[in-house]
Structure 1
């Protein structure tokens, strides 16, 4: 039997748990409709405070995941993985609990009308916090650690999260949050009862309280050490992120709520606290340089909200347009415009594979911008900045995402390799593995395929590979010269298997279509019923035919020993990445010393495929 108050009573309700706010909403509506002078404004304020608290934690979490801002002061380079995200999925339960408790407390005080502001009340709340809340929390927190029963059943859950992040603050048992609610409520309630309360005091206290909790559970240090050098006594007045991090590592020290002076008085102050804080602030705790970087880009305005630093529960699932994204569209548009004016590649996420750090950097450009002629130089300049920064940092391999290696843009990365012949970082387009994934999806007994985008890098490689397997390839292209050039690359005995076609009607009897060019509904209509559309086109073709099946973009599942992966790559399932990303991973794991740019070496397709399987990558 589980211990009382160790599990949430509404944990099986899913999103229906938000109906617990129903009575508060109903009271607000009723008072507005049927009372001349509404008495229960408390309900409205409780709802507003709950919403405020939710956004405090979410916004701080978003900031904490912006590695391009926080990388210099990261306390721990580890990233939150899917397992931790799932375990902390209902982190906001404590806000619901505190809202319900507050509604009960305020019901008995509904006769009190608070002014908007009262300076004496703010000073009084501060006194109650320092004199009552801080020592009370210190005593209870220390007891939760010293008593084995209490720690096992009530406090170990909070310490079970391997990586601290803002939302970890909510990952605790109901008893802990009831205690926290009491500690938090004492200054506000006491101040109101002695007649000095105000709405400003309540909102301000809640806001500051939650912001200070966020400071302790952030991934990077937020308090500069200069403050403590100028005013040393502040070390005992306000705690820091590194201070709380030491508590998570050495749990018999640093028990305070926000003020280390109580740890000093209780002889539980970790002696390494100030030195560790200074070390973090000085940048001496810098995380190691990544060995591999995947240089990605945004697809469109909607999917840009799936960036790894956005709402972590949303980005831990494959991208799908959802209704709650609508309020964020104006902000996303402003960011789009600002990034268009001036920006450079930045770190968005990372994971560890074979004890080596792999990161994703993002070129702040959207899909449509890659097709604007006047944007070409600017985009290439940003990609070049990313490659040069990776080279300077000591990165070994950098892989280019779909549009970053566009043939018309930079010749599949050839532009950068030719311009900088002394690059130490290996530039990889990953198309060799992409071709391998597509080719290994095609059934072995297929005798004929219809190929659009046939003269592209991937189309050429697929056609040349299949003709060697004696598969008849209908290559859709209007250019006879480009077709002849590719056909002449095939061995003499296999050239007859490559056939130029100029109309989609040519594929009306072929049930294996490989789309390297976007297909309209009319063009798809020429395929016979039962056709399967393989594809390597960005954006993906839409599924217009119900009597046909559609493949996804080429992708591979990362090895099982990957650590710290907590975001999905666009529409890919968890742990799955685009084949060009996986191609860069294989390039690094194999230790290849060559650049993989320009045309695809058909002889390397099987070699790279076998290498991927050897290292634990698996087809989807």
Structure 2
């Protein structure tokens, strides 16, 4: 028995929201459904913000349901199950709700005033998604509330109502609305081949997507029969569905560029669109609502380790070129475990070979995927596969350029940790040519002298080896390439600025000092389909190594960028990035 109507409305609202979230997660699982995606365009930040309050209708319909309880007191005393109520609701749905919705929906389109003021909001989302179904004006939602209420209330008035009917009908209604808006074809064409009449009784995501591209067709709620009777059936409905449902991949584009990222930790692995689209659209930070999901995320992560495949998580278009982000399912700490090296390199190698097979032009390696001790900045793969057509890029040349251009021109001395790393070496050699004194923190005299000998003879004196942090107690410009503790930071004088290229970033311990972010660049304004933030970066900002791969692709360079950084190319890559519209984060 329904003894507490308000409690049931609350439970129903939670379940309805969960239906939408699960459908949204599935529609963004590009590694599963990219071959059956209908509109090949990403959901961007503008659409996410537009649909941010998609769940307002749940509150509205809960209020209407609560008022219905007072108007019809018998709703408080419904049985758990009544099979006659299911039959009555189906008859009322087909006979009343479907034609009513078809007529009202068509009227919203044919009347210019109604469409402009009450229905254009729903169609302002360029890519249909489960949340698009809930994004509508008050008048539309009231109409849908009536459409949903007729079968449930009608069956109850007849004396056939039940708790199962209320839950079942409303959740099925939302399920089908999400199905129609999911932008992924999930209904197999074989069903329609065997039962041709069925295509008039249930719509498909392809069928409804045609309504969003051609607004004068396919007005039905769930049954194309009414479009056929009203002569508003899109002529390409069945052919397009047959092609997309095959999942052959003929609807997909080969990306020009792939950024091969990796997971940082269990919490950050949830910062992806197929977990929570709204969360992924904001810079990452730990939030309380992640805690309940942590055990489940860990299990999924373990499953991905067993599966050991890279997977596609996001994409965007730049200058009509497709850029994708693939992820290696390995947490950051695993990169520092010696026995894991072989397995990680195998996964990276498989991703590179896969990119080569499908025709990707450039693949860029993120942070730890190009670790010097892991694979020599990608050189291991290029040496092993000399006939690669895909260009392997570590992107560190642009990373170095970003760091170097953040240093004020008046600086004549810097303190550099991680001085003998790939980036540290390039930064030191570049700065000494500018007559900047570089205090290189390293205990290895041999490695220091090796780098010093690479500098022109007249600039070698600007490179100075130091072995203790105390040597920098009067230097206010620190470039951090190796993680330093708060105690080590304490040697920096008041007013020091910490530039950094270390993963993870150092702790902001000193309040009398300033801390720079990891090297990053802002993508051009003409990027399309970008709807997720790259880890802690702001919207539209990517790590410099990611941007370096983008520039490599846009320039059409045919060389691999692996191993040691070519210092002579730092300014060249920087100018190329600016030419293509990429900007330092400091420039809004």
The aligned residue for residue 36 of structure 2 is 73
Partner of residue 259, structure 1 = 223
The question of 1:91 aligning with 2:91 is answered no
Structure 2 CA distance, aligned partners of 1:616 and 1:576? 12
Q: Distance in 1 between matches of 2:350 and 2:140?
A: 48
User: Could you tell me which residue of structure 1 aligns to residue 478 of structure 2?
Assistant: 513
What is the distance in 2 between the residues matched to 1:68 and 1:491?
A: 49
Q: Which residue in the other structure is 2:292 paired with?
A: 327
Moved more, 371-380 or 509-518: 371-380
Partner residue of 2:77?
Answer: 113
Cα distance in 1 for residues equivalent to 2:390 and 2:292: 41
Mapping of 1:265-280 within 5 angstroms? 265-280=229-244
- Residues 571 and 193 of structure 1: is their aligned pair in 2 closer, same or farther, counting only changes over 3 Å? same
1:489 equivalent in alignment to 2:454: yes
Structure 1, unaligned runs of 5 or more: 1-37
1:161 to partner: Cα distance: 1.1
Any residues of structure 2 matched to 1:142-153 within 5 Å, and which? 142-153=106-117
State whether residues 183 and 209 of structure 2, in contact with CA within 8 Å, keep that contact through their aligned partners in structure 1. no
Residues 551-590 of structure 1 mapped to structure 2, 5 A cutoff: 551-590=516-555
Residues 113, 255 of structure 1: alpha-carbon distance in 2 compared, 3 angstrom cutoff: same
- 1:238 pairs with one of 199, 202, 219: 202
Query: What is the distance in 1 between the residues matched to 2:95 and 2:107?
Result: 19
* Alignment check: 8 A CA contact 2:438 2:464 kept: yes
Q: Say if 1:453 and 1:459, in contact at 8 Å, map to a contact too.
A: yes
2:164 pairs with 1:200: yes
Q: Distance in 2 between matches of 1:39 and 1:538?
A: 55
Q: Does residue 25 of structure 2 align to residue 62 of structure 1?
A: yes
Q: Residues 39 and 110 of structure 1 are in contact (CA less than 8 Å); yes or no, is this contact kept in structure 2?
A: no
Bigger shift: 509-518 or 104-113?
104-113
Q: 1:308: Cα distance to partner?
A: 2.8
Aligned pair 1:529/2:488, yes or no? no
Note if 1:128 corresponds to 2:92: yes
Match of 1:156 among 120, 131, 136: 120
Residues in 1 aligned to 2:344 and 2:165: alpha-carbon distance in whole angstroms: 50
Give the aligned CA root-mean-square deviation in angstroms.
1.2
Say yes or no: does 1:49 pair with 2:4: no
Q: What displacement does 1:123 show?
A: 1.7
Q: CA deviation at 1:549?
A: 0.3
User: 1:191: Cα distance to partner?
Assistant: 1.1
Deviation at 1:590, TM superposition (A): 0.9
Indicate if the aligned counterparts of 2:183 and 2:206 stay in contact, CA closer than 8 A.
no
Cα offset, 1:40, TM superposition: 5.3
Q: Is the 8 A contact 1:64 1:219 kept in 2?
A: yes
What do the CA deviations read for 1:22-68 (whole angstroms, capped 9, x no partner)?
xxxxxxxxxxxxxxxx9851000000011111111111101100101
Q: Is 1:378 paired with 2:343?
A: yes
Q: Distance in 1 between matches of 2:301 and 2:250?
A: 33
Whole-angstrom CA distance in 2 between matches of 1:284 and 1:377: 32
CA offset digits 1:389-447 (Å, max 9, x no partner): 11111110000000100111111001110111110000000000000000000011111
Aligned to 1:414: 379
Per-residue deviation at 1:169? 0.8
- Note if 1:188 corresponds to 2:152: yes
Match of 2:328 among 360, 363, 386: 363
**Maintained 8 Å contact 1:67/1:349:** yes
State the match for 1:460 in structure 2: 425
The count of corresponding residues between Structure 1 and Structure 2 is: 583
Q: CA deviation at 1:371?
A: 1.1
Return the alpha-carbon distance in structure 1 between the equivalents of residues 144 and 253 of structure 2. Answer: 37
How far apart, in 1, do the equivalents of 2:374 and 2:81 lie?
Answer: 60
Cα displacement (A) at 1:285: 4.3
How far apart, CA to CA, are the structure 2 residues paired with 1:43 and 1:193? 20
Q: How far did residue 132 of structure 1 move? A: 1.0
SS at match of 1:500: strand
- Are the aligned partners of 2:3 and 2:77 in contact in 1 as well (CA < 8 Å)? no
Q: What TM-score, normalized by structure 1, do the two folds share?
A: 0.93
Equivalent residue in structure 2 for 1:314, among 279, 283, 292: 279
Alpha-carbon displacement from aligned partner over 1:215-238 (angstroms, at most 9, x marks no partner): 110121111111111111110110
